[in-house]
Amino acid sequence: MPGLPFTPEIASATEALRQKVAHVVPSLEWAVHAPYIAAINALKRERNAVVLAHNYMTPEIFHCVADFVGDSLQLARLAAKTDAAVIVQAGVHFMAETSKVLSPEKTVLIPDPDAGCSLAASITAADVRALKTKHPGLPVVTYVNTSAAVKAESDVCCTSSNARAVVEDIAREWGVDTVVMIPDEFLAQNVAQQTPVKIVTWKGHCEVHERFTAADIRDFRAGNPGVVVMAHPECPPDVVAASDFAGSTSGMIDFVGAKRPKKVVLVTECSMSDNVAVEFPDTEFVRPCNLCPHMKRITLPKILHALETMTVEVTVDPAIAARAKKSVERMLAVPVTKARHAA
Ligand code: 13P
Ligand code: SF4
């Protein structure tokens, strides 16, 4: 199907955005993106809609149509707060479900319902019930990268930016020294290194982060003397141990903003470096990275289509949503970082 025409009016209306992302979006591509950006931004106002975009969205989404950007925790907090009638979730399905759980009265749209997640696919509600039978009396801490049905069986959720705080908080509340933490084995092992609380793990992995190795980190350092290495805690523990900093996607952005390193490598999904490079042009980004095929399903034409047709609407069974909401709200009660408004 041919794309939308790039007229002189659209070129002039989107010029400020073009300049903002010129560093990371080639000019030939801009002619393709700009008509969609203009159409989405106009239709958002008509529909009283906001676009919540995860840090792994491509820069033309992240910087040009998103109203709010952030990591999983920040997006969950924003979904709970926004007054808009419609949320377009530029992210994967579990994020849209979390928005719906927190805002059942809002219309939540996902531009591609097949945008899944290998972690969410690794565990079912029945698996969690079996774990609870096997470990009676232990709280279940569930990474937000899971279905609403799994969250409904859990005691509290966590994200990569609050995992340790949540584990310690729930262990204190329950008066136990051990928790069950699902489904990301590596995140659980990385948290276990930072806390005296013992953790029972599950064998789920992120298909993007599990591919990085400690040998990769040695190669980045050998090829780039002085480079600062930052890794997402979904990476294997030996990768995190070999890095200079580990944190959520927003944790990495904040670290670059605070320290302004000359050269960094973000051991995570590919779009992160592009998005952060727009904000910090003086930092050089070494770019070996892995693509998340699920996040990359979200494109400008699909966002426009979602707003035009008001599809695909994400729904959650109200009984499951009510129980899942308790787990998410229990997490949101643990204090953490502030949200970022798209600039
Ligand atoms: P963050 O919460 O760090 O943004 O992570 C979400 C995710 O899917 C990482 O792979
Ligand atoms: Fe899931 Fe990994 Fe993709 Fe994040 S990057 S959505 S954890 S598969």
Distance 321 CA to ligand 1 centre (A): 22
Q: What is the atom index within ligand 1 of the atom nearest the CA of 209?
A: 10
User: pLDDT band at 85, cuts 50/70/90?
Assistant: very high
3-state secondary structure of 181: strand
What's the pLDDT band for 101 if we cut at 50, 70, 90? very high
- The DSSP-derived string for 42-77 is HHHHHHTEEEEEETTS-HHHHTTT-SEEE-HHHHHH
335 band by pLDDT with thresholds 50, 70 and 90:
confident
Digit-coded pLDDT (tens) for 310-334:
999 999 999 999 999 999 999 999 9
Instruction: Give start-end residues of each CATH 3.40.50.10800 domain in the chain.
Output: 8-114+294-309, 120-205, 209-286
pLDDT > 50? residue 341: no
> Ligand 1 atom 1: the closest Cα is on which residue?
71
Ligand 1 centre distance from Cα of residue 12 (Å): 35
End-to-end CA distance of the chain: 32
The yes-or-no verdict on residue 336 having pLDDT over 80 is: no
Architecture of domain 120-205: 3-Layer(aba) Sandwich (3.40)
> What ligand has the least distance to the C-alpha of 77?
1
- Cα separation, 198 vs 209, in Å, equals 23
Give, as one character, the DSSP assignment of residue 198: E
| CA separation for the pair 179, 170 (Å, rounded) | 8
Instruction: Compute the distance between CA of residue 296 and CA of residue 287 in angstroms, rounded to an integer.
Output: 17
Which pLDDT belongs to residue 1?
A: 64
Token pair 């209306």: residue: 13
**Closest C-alpha among 312, 320, 260, 305 to residue 285:** 260
Reported CATH class of domain 209-286: alpha beta
Question: Is 111 a residue whose pLDDT tops 90?
Answer: yes
For residue 118, the model assigns a pLDDT of 98
CB-ligand 1 contact for 243 (6 Å cutoff): no
Atom of ligand 1 nearest to the CA of 70: 4
- Enter the tokens of residue 210: 């599990």
Report the distance separating Cα 266 and Cα 150, nearest Å. Answer: 30
Looking at residue 82, the DSSP 8-state letter turns out to be -
pLDDT attached to residue 295: 98
pLDDT of residue 76: 86
248 Cα nearest atom in ligand 1:
3
> What would the pLDDT profile of 117-140 be if each residue is shown by its tens digit?
999 999 999 999 999 999 999 999
**Which numbered atom of ligand 2 lies nearest the CA of 293?**
3
- The tokens describing 231, both together, are 């890794």
- Cβ-count burial 39-72 (b if 16+ within 10 Å, e if not): bbbebbeebebbbbbbbbbbbbbbbbbbbbbbbb
At residue 301, does pLDDT exceed 90? yes
Q: What is the layout of strands, in order, in the sheet containing 245-246?
A: 245-246, 228-231, 263-267, 284-286
Atom of ligand 1 nearest to the CA of 292: 10
Check residues 26 and 288 and name the one with the higher pLDDT: 26
CB 115 less than 6 A from any atom of ligand 1: no
Classified as helix, coil or strand, 313 is strand
Please tell us whether the domain made up of 8-114+294-309 is placed in CATH 3.40.50.10800.
yes
Regarding beta strands 263-267 and 284-286, do their DSSP bridges make them parallel or antiparallel, or are they unpaired? parallel
Separation between Cα atoms, residue 71 and residue 55, nearest integer Å = 6
> Does the structure show a pLDDT above 80 at 342?
no
Cα 93 to chain centroid distance, Å, stands at 11
Is there an atom of ligand 1 within 6 Å of 97 CB? no
- In angstroms, the CA 160 to CA 71 distance is 9
Return the residue whose CA atom lies nearest to atom 2 of ligand 2: 206
Count other C-beta atoms under 10 Å from residue 214's C-beta.
16
The per-residue pLDDT for range 227-274, each reduced to its tens digit, is: 999 999 999 999 999 999 999 999 999 999 999 999 999 999 999 999
Give the mean pLDDT of 143-161: 97
Q: Span 80-90, mean pLDDT?
A: 95
